[in-house]
């Protein structure tokens, strides 16, 4: 029987162009996610709304979200941003999809 205890998943995403990108290409449902902006501000949103942004050092916390549905984009053209993402995810997800 799969465990219902959450695990943690983290990634670093660095933009290399001025297009909008999802944080991940696969579905990663999360109980909660923290997104911290490390270098250069980034827009963040769901694609339809990209008006919110993170400044360097800002941390955005979102409950019950899928990482694939969170998109980021450089705030200023040519100033590539980098974010660190830490999420609490179901154990079954880390075992089945993320390589445990």
Residue 11 has what pLDDT? Answer: 94
pLDDT at 65 over 50: yes
What is the reported pTM? 0.87
pLDDT for 30 equals 94
User: What average pLDDT does the chain have?
Assistant: 90
Task: Give the angle 14-19-20 at the CA atoms, nearest 5°.
Answer: 80
pLDDT of 1 over the 50 cut: no
Name the superfamily (CATH) of residues 7-93. Answer: Jelly Rolls (2.60.120.10)
Q: Above pLDDT 90, what percent of the chain?
A: 73
């Amino acid at each position: 029987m799969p465990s219902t205890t959450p695990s943690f998943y983290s990634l670093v995403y660095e933009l290399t162009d001025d297009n909008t990108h999802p944080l991940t290409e696969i579905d990663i449902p999360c109980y909660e996610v923290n997104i911290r902006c490390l270098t250069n501000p980034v827009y963040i949103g769901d694609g339809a709304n990209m008006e919110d942004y993170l400044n360097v050092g800002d941390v955005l916390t979102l409950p019950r979200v899928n990482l694939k549905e969170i998109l980021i984009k450089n705030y200023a053209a040519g100033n590539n941003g980098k974010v660190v993402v830490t999420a609490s995810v179901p154990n079954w997800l880390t075992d089945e999809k993320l390589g445990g």
